[in-house]
Structure 1
């Protein structure tokens, strides 16, 4: 129920016929003696205003999100993470005997194969050690210990490179990839594991794995065809590689003082913002030649919207770490641009890819929707801007309606589908990275917002 509070010298959010906007409440009585700003529809006199409190007593700018109080939103995220995600993975997919993670499962947890992709060993290691580091539960640390043991015993070839795939017992079934992605994911997992245990060896190996991945990536003769892009070339540059480099190094430089790592992080930020950015379309390309020049074929107007959106929230995190306001604002603007282009005005949700002068890729993948939720949550936590709230609300309700499998009798969320996200009665893979990462990052952000009584941190002031 609305209550009257004395709020001299505070910020006021006005919602009325003219839309939602912010203004600073006057410090002197009578400044708005004839009522609030035009279109506000709120009567103000004597330095007082009407403030609507949320059900949990919070009255800040972010006291209610997606129609829920912050406490209610926290409860939803906690249930999605601990009751749904963690419970499923404790019952299925974690090999507590040999070690490692098996992701090729159907909705009910039945293993389609017992293979262990090294991508998902590194990703699963990061997820479970991040869970332990931020939410506790020794089970996650034990699962991580066993996974590290499996990876170190079986995961590298005779040259020391991380292989791409193993069977359940550790026999190699696919060699190292030709880009270096595997080394990046393994490095991120080992880094988080070192944070959990305090051991130096995993951190050293994380750094070593990163530089070996870069060595592979920088080989201009490497052949590494990618099925999701129109054309592949020897030594081609991928926005996706730079994206993972940003998220890895933004964490790693906080643990390891190394000017070379910082320099490579700065390089990744620069090429994402300047080389992959296509000024004609105001969108990021996914593929460039090895020289970082733009192709003159089908890749020239190919935009992998999912990676672009994912990259921009990672740049927001890096801007916060580096206290770089210009980077923060630029990443926010480009996040919004890609979101607006990717949104499906007919059925809702975000498209994964497009040709600017051609067709859209009409399927809907869960991970992309969740990257939007991470990015807009970062902006809701640290700014008082209205547009992130609007986009978060829209996306949150869309995702909660379309992707959870609870209504079909299963745990977890459907990982993707057609344009309408039609139900798929069977699947062959469950993700152990993007989905829990979204839930963990946003749950931690909600906790911080509750601690601030619903107020954004407003790192550098409103814009």
Structure 2
């Protein structure tokens, strides 16, 4: 397995990161272009807070954990300066999107803008310890905790009281975000926050009977038999399990790590497409049709996060099952998502048969994050494995 480490390192440093360095920086207005064609041409100049913040985090992380390369630090600072100047409303909530110059386009309805902004400024503070970066990160994180039980606030379209649901995504992200911000928050705060979200992820959203993780449950933690209540997102659940593995290692909790490993395999085995290969995007826990028309597409981040989870499982206990699944998912992912003709960043969207649906390299949802983060995580995780 350690032979894969060099492959992932080479792809990260010689293909994927150079693509974003060459094409994404907006030298006129600051921040990053993320809507990039197969060849790096900018096809839309709008700026999405998730992707701006994720790229700040990515380049800060590279500077901190790979090499103190000044151009990487400058890239992170450029994105952060744009976000600091334009990204928030007067209450400190982060918008969803801006135009090229930074004027807001979409209101701060989505708390994940805040999550990735907190993560970005927290990591930037570690490499550029300016107090304002720390303050932005910690204030944003405090706002997330304040909003977590009603994350959309006034922008929530649901009528209260009829079918109150809680969604898996925020507890999942808090597992990782809290750990990311431990240098700023302190270990006691992280332990307090993560203990509660681990319980949600591993006990409330995990359905012991089916062995599957539900995307939505009632506000009392119960199964609701409707489109939302039956919804599965295998990639989300698998990604959450490597977050939980990291927390289990931090807590020295072997039982938690082993439970995360078990749940990860259950999602992967259920979500794998035996006919065409790859992992389904959405599924229904009862096998009914989903409301998502893209349910059988194969997405880049689902497969890359699965590779991270499998690499971490193997590194922890050298489980041959993890090695076998890693090779299977690796072969599918590298064959179908990687652009063998042009190099650089990978494709993101395939149809069920594994053919490229959109030949973009970045867009409204895909930026400089899942591909490079996964390459980095797999490289760092496997480089010291015995075989």
* 2:166 alignment counterpart: 237
1:281 maps onto 2:210 in alignment = yes
Is 1:396 the counterpart of 2:330? The answer is yes
Q: CA deviation at 1:345?
A: 0.8
The corresponding residue for 1:108 is: 39
Q: Match for residue 63 of structure 2?
A: 132
Question: Which has the larger share of helix?
Answer: 2
Q: Once the 2 structures are TM-superposed, how far is the Cα of residue 368 of structure 1 from its aligned partner?
A: 0.5
Indicate which of 403, 416, 421 corresponds to 2:354. Answer: 421
Specify which structure has the bigger relative contact order, considering alpha-carbon pairs within 8 angstroms and separated by 6 or more residues.
2
Partner of 1:86: 17
Q: Is the 8 A contact 1:305 1:351 kept in 2?
A: yes
Aligned partner of 2:340 in structure 1 is: 406
Q: State which drifts further: 214-223 or 121-130.
A: 214-223
Task: String of CA shifts for 1:394-452, please: whole Å, max 9, x gaps.
Answer: 11111111111123x35321102111221346436242111111001111123333xxx
Within the alignment, does 1:182 sit opposite 2:84 as a pair?
Answer: no
| 1:437 to 2:373 alignment | yes
Choose the corresponding residue for 1:332, options 256, 261, 273.
261
Task: Give the match's secondary structure for 1:158.
Answer: coil
1:196 Cα deviation (Å)? 1.2
**Shift of residue 222 of structure 1?**
4.9
Number of the residue aligned with 2:91: 159
Partner of 1:312: 241
CA deviations 1:325-344 (Å, max 9, x no partner) are 11101000000111110111
- Residue 345 of structure 1 aligns with which residue? 274
Normalising by the residue count of structure 2, what TM-score does the alignment of the two structures yield? 0.91
What TM-score does the superposition give when structure 1 sets the normalisation length?
A: 0.76
Q: Of residues 114, 117, 130 in structure 2, which corresponds to 1:199?
A: 130
**Partner of 1:377 in structure 2?**
311
CA distance in 1, matches of 2:330, 2:50: 28
Measured in 1, the distance between the counterparts of 2:100 and 2:304 equals: 30
Aligned to 1:144: 76
Q: Gapped runs of 5+ residues in structure 2?
A: none
2:15–2:343 CA contact under 8 A, matched in 1:
no
| Greater Rg over alpha carbons, structure | 1
Which residue pairs with 1:3 in the alignment? Answer: none
Rounded to whole Å, the distance in 2 between the matches of 1:120 and 1:316 is: 25
Contact 1:344 1:351 in 2 (8 A): yes
Structure 1 residues 236, 199: CA separation in 2 closer, same or farther (over 3 Å shift)? farther
SS in 1 for 2:384: helix
**In structure 1, how many angstroms separate the alpha carbons of the residues matched to 2:384 and 2:183?**
20
Question: CA–CA distance in 2 between the matches of 1:217 and 1:377?
Answer: 31
Structure 1, unaligned runs of 5 or more = 1-64, 227-231, 456-463
Following the alignment from structure 2 to structure 1, what is the Cα–Cα distance between the partners of residues 114 and 338?
31
The 1:225–1:318 alpha-carbon spacing in structure 2 relative to 1, beyond 3 Å, is: farther
Range with greater deviation from structure 2 (191-200 or 333-342): 191-200
Count of paired positions: 375
In 2 relative to 1, CA 280–225 (structure 1 residues): closer, same or farther, beyond 3 Å?
A: farther
For the Cα contact (< 8 Å) 1:96–1:143, is it kept in 2?
A: no
Paired residue for 2:283?
354
Q: How many angstroms apart in 1 are the aligned matches of 2:157 and 2:217?
A: 13
Does the CA-based 8 Å contact 2:297-2:351 persist in structure 1?
yes
Kindly provide the CA deviation profile for residues 164-212 of structure 1, in whole angstroms up to 9, marking residues without a partner as x.
111111111111024x111111111111111112334322321211121
User: Counterpart of 1:446?
Assistant: 382
Distance 1:199 1:235, change over 3 A: farther
